[in-house]
Chain A
Amino acid sequence: MLTDEQQALKPNNAKMSARDVNVFYGAKQAIKTVSIDVDMDNVTAFIGPSGCGKSTFLRTLNRMNDTVANARVEGDITLDGENIYAPSMDVVQLRARVGMVFQKPNPFPKSIYENIAYGPRIHGLASAKADMDVIVEKSLRRAGLWDEVKDRLHDSGTALSGGQQQRLCIGRAIAVEPEVILMDEPCSALDPIATAKIEELIHELRGRYAIVIVTHNMQQAARVSQRTAFFHLGTLVEYGVTSDIFTNPKADRTRDYITGRYG
């Protein structure tokens, strides 16, 4: 259940809520009774040392863990109050509503245009070529990539630089108009300049989509998020307003981690 501080933090419009979530890989428990709300208006950062379960938990939010053969999820996770693990939930539609950006940029080995157009096409969001052109341009503009690629939309997406590829992947995710975007260490493979561009982009996307970002980089969490959750050994140690977590952490483990005592 939620702690008192979490109750106090409980946002007015929680987009996603997790209650007493346990995740198992076979016999091993990777996530232990985690309860958390993801706010529509704020960027939520998950931080913690390697292997603490933050990526695992992120992947339960759009059921990407379904593809892992022996993974098992207990507890309730809701999107707009609807249980996403209920049998009536269509997982394909869920993943369109809860988009994901991965650690390593993974554009399709197709053209830039096709990378963006693929999602809208399979979900039937545009039938005419002109409609699709509009979606592609809007998505690339929102991903901050339009000016760099507008003259070579039919070049391969894999020929772009790492940072451009990651922005292409963000553009691909927002092309299907999701409600939530999950980002799994989106900058870990990028240089500082490309990272700065992605962070700027996250600022611009805030409010339009509920954003959850997993990061190893505590400065990044401080820069881009308004809410921070600290995970350790599969448990949620502390969850609060980002500035509080970084200046006045309540738990010793959080303080030791953010001051660099371990991690």
Chain B
Amino acid sequence: MTATPSSSVRNPTDWKGAAMQKRIAGRYAAERRFKLLGMAAVLLSAGFLAFLLISMIGNGARGFTRTEITLPIDFRTAPMVVDPATVTAQSLVSANLQDVTAQAAVTALGPNGDTLLSPNAWLTVRDAILDNPQIVTERVVISVPASTSIDLAAKTDASAADEASYARLQQSGMVSTGFNSAFLSASDATDPTQVGIWGAFKGSLLTMIVTLLLSFPVGVATALYLEEYAPKTWWTDIIEVSINNLAAVPSIIFGLLGLAIFLNLLAFPRSAALVGGMTLALMTMPVIVIAGRNAIKAVPPSIRDAALGIGASPVQVVFHHVLPLALPGILTGTIIGMARALGETAPLLMIGMRAFIATPPGGITDPATVLPVQIFLWSDEVSKGFVEKTSAAIIVLLAFLLAMNGLAIYLRNKFEKRW
């Protein structure tokens, strides 16, 4: 079976020989190995994802709940005068509800009873009165939020004194757990029971709107010009290389650029969604340009020929044929760019969006913060109550991201259906 290489007659291949069988077995083994490696990689990443989600949801779910104390209040003996017929939010501001609530707490819970309630507890009492003004003439029971220490004692562990107060409350059956609606409607605060995510959420929303409005038209126009109009010269080559490099620049450098140009040179308002959005738009635009150029390149030239051949002008070719066919690909690039912008923290720190801001921004020029920066700030807090709030904020950020991507995927599929 050993043929000399010099032999001019080639031996017929022995397809059934031992050497060939060994080669076949080796090939099968290689395929099995590759498949196993792939499955191991998928399992590993799925495991990490599951760990992340479970720990986030486990911690974060507590951030959406609060410990409440069922507080009996007798308005007939309370130091206040309110006419149930003319009650408004305005008139209740001067009605001394803070004292009424504290008094009721002392009556019901003992000498230090008012410290067991959240400083915001009177707001719940106010809302209850606004709901049903008739209660100011009666003795009622209202569930009000507990203080941070009681909340912590209920959820995790706290100092011995707090645990003891919590145990007393539990024995008298006065504690319950409720949905923390304030977390979704309030803004940053110093006390963890009072913080909310709405301010940061609105800041993120406004920032993303500014980013999208700036980066999408500019990015798409750039991609169209470079692909459809620009002559291929060394000058356009330089622009192309610059844009590709821009997409790889670390985000904090865009922050420095934003600080230098938008804040120092142009004197735009500090910490505002406008400047944050402009800075993130600088970062997102190259991604859209690159994805857009690839999508435009993928439009078959025969479609351009067909349109030119019946006398469409270059602009008509672009806007009637090339752009609609490239739009799904452009949207995919936009999703990637916007998702990155939404999760970005570093450049926003540079332009002052890390400030403590306790009211939601009214517009794009108001001081604002964004979700990832809020997460960063809360994770830095000493108070233990912020741990679960941080996780809850992460859940809100992920939900925002999923909603944004879902919308973009819906739009993409909608445009793809137009064959």
Contacts and interface: CB of A to CB of B under 8 A. Distances in A.
Interface of A: 62, 64, 67, 69, 92-97, 99-102, 104, 106-110, 118-119, 122-123, 156, 158, 169, 172-173, 175-176
A97 B307 CA distance: 14
B310 A119 contact: yes
Interface of B: 231-232, 300, 302-313, 316, 320-321, 325, 418-419
Given A104-B302, A108-B303, A109-B325, A156 B310 contact: no
A107 B306 contact: yes
A169 B302 CA distance: 12
Contact of A62 (B232, B309, B321, B418): B309
Given A69-B232, A104-B302, A106-B303, A173 B309 contact: yes
A95 B306 contact: no
A167 B255 CA distance: 57
A95 B308 CA distance: 7
Nearest to B232: A69
Contacts of A119: 310-311
Contacts of A110: 418-419
Nearest to B306: A106
Interface secondary structure of B, over-half rule: helix
B306 A169 contact: yes
Nearest to A110: B419
B302 A118 contact: no
Given A100-B305, A173-B310, 8 more contacts: A94-B311, A95-B310, A99-B310, A102-B305, A109-B419, A110-B418, A122-B310, A176-B310
A114 to B, nearest CB: 10
A106 B310 CA distance: 12
Contact of A123 (B303, B309, B311, B418): B311
Contacts of A67: 304-305, 308
A104 B306 CA distance: 10
Contacts of B300: 106
Contacts of B321: 108
Given A69-B232, A109-B325, A122 B308 contact: no
A122 B302 contact: no
Contacts of B309: 62, 64, 95, 99-102, 173
Contact of A122 (B232, B306, B316, B325): B316
A9 B51 CA distance: 85
A63 to B, nearest CB: 9
